[in-house]
A = this chain, B = another copy of it.
Amino acid sequence: MTRTLQVDLGARSYPIYIGSGLLSDVEVYRPHLISQQVMIVSNDTVAPLYLDVVGATLAEYETRSVILPDGEEYKTLDIWNRIFDALLGARFNRRCTLVALGGGVIGDMAGFAAACYQRGVAFLQLPTTLLAQVDSSVGGKTGVNHRSGKNMIGAFHQPRCVIADTDTLRTLDSRQLSAGIAEVIKYGLINDADFFSWLEEHMDRLLQREPAALAYAIERSCRDKAQVVAADELEAGQRALLNLGHTFGHAIETGMGYGEWLHGEAVAAGTCIAARFSHDLGWLADQQVARIHRLFERAKLPTLAPRSLGTKRILELMAVDKKVVAGRLRLVLLKGIGNAVVTDNFDHARLLRVLDRCR
């Protein structure tokens, strides 16, 4: 059974297909390819597993591929440029389509290349990690990292469609699966308390990779995210809520060196820090913080920042966050499970103390 979810963005609306065996079904791709020229962008972990399948499925097209090294540390302008080498080497024109086959990093880089090649071409997302399926595939955020900050160079560019084949999760390593679950838990915390409860009940099924449980969690996460994005495509306001755990998380990722911590792991720790700070401000009860920590722990995710990273360094890295406005740091905090808020109304000394305790 294929679940289809429409992301509603006016002229830029697109469907997300979720189900088993989708990668090898050419009918799913066909309505979204506008010319013969198809460039598959993948990495050296995913390509050996799925490039042949996708290539064979798209045999009727003029299909080429470019394989990038796998990992967040390769999400740079230099590596990104290889996609243009491939596109220009193949003489692809502005009616070509890029196909992102991989996790969040591949989706971000291929999407950003699509945004910029000849000032904009089409792209499809074929996310092969849980994180990419629930997060990167909704919202149109694309980009690369700068050594001073994550995702600092990028564009908003919506895919023509997302094809989330749940079979790909079978080969995903456990650490990557947990990292994806971190983002799933995040949606429950932001605006879907019932989903949070569902996750408490069904976490073991997700960890055991039960297809039905995974498909349900992916669809619900995408639906929750799509709702927020549709209301605020360019992140003028409420969309910032999706960054729960990310301001702390990005600081951890950047501070540790890209690739050390997985994005989802950093988000898990970041969300737990946000919960502790919310508790410190009197917004969350003891028992709520405990439920949040417990769920991340069950998903085998970190709930503290690494001890090797100093509090001062974390604060420094947070100061370049995209949510800083007029010199004031804004944080996404919790006024309850399923009730996230954006605020710059907090005491810095207090934040420092909480950070100190969360390492």
Interface residue ranges, A against B (CB under 8 Å): 35, 77-78, 81, 84-85, 88-89, 91, 93-95, 115-120, 141, 143, 146, 148-149, 152-156, 234-235, 319-320, 322, 324-326
- Contact across chains for B322 and A94 when beta carbons are under 8 A apart: yes
Contacts of A115 in B (CB 8 A): 155
Q: Which residue of B lies closest to A144 (CB)?
A: B116
- Contact across chains for B88 and A152 when beta carbons are under 8 A apart: yes
- Contact across chains for B319 and A146 when beta carbons are under 8 A apart: no
Q: Which residue of B lies closest to A116 (CB)?
A: B153
Q: A119-B156, A155-B120 are in contact. Are A149 and B88 (CB under 8 A)?
A: yes
Extra 17 A-B pairs, beta carbons < 8 Å, given A84-B153, A91-B320, A116-B143: A35-B326, A77-B78, A84-B152, A88-B152, A89-B148, A91-B319, A93-B324, A94-B322, A95-B326, A117-B152, A118-B152, A118-B154, A118-B322, A119-B155, A119-B156, A119-B235, A120-B155
Q: A77-B81, A320-B91, A326-B95 are in contact. Are A155 and B152 (CB under 8 A)?
A: no
- Contact across chains for B91 and A146 when beta carbons are under 8 A apart: no
Q: With A and B bound together, what is the CA distance between A239 and B341 in angstroms?
A: 45
Q: A81-B77, A91-B319, A319-B91 are in contact. Are A116 and B325 (CB under 8 A)?
A: no
- Contact across chains for B143 and A119 when beta carbons are under 8 A apart: yes
Q: Which residue of B lies closest to A87 (CB)?
A: B152
Q: With A and B bound together, what is the CA distance between A91 and B95 in angstroms?
A: 37
Q: Which residue of B lies closest to A153 (CB)?
A: B116
Contacts of A118 in B (CB 8 A): 152, 154, 322
Q: With A and B bound together, what is the CA distance between A235 and B234 in angstroms?
A: 23
Q: With A and B bound together, what is the CA distance between A33 and B94 in angstroms?
A: 34
- Contact across chains for A141 and B119 when beta carbons are under 8 A apart: yes
Q: With A and B bound together, what is the CA distance between A220 and B324 in angstroms?
A: 42
Q: A320-B88, A324-B93 are in contact. Are A155 and B153 (CB under 8 A)?
A: no
Q: With A and B bound together, what is the CA distance between A155 and B142 in angstroms?
A: 13
Q: With A and B bound together, what is the CA distance between A149 and B319 in angstroms?
A: 38
- Contact across chains for B322 and A153 when beta carbons are under 8 A apart: no
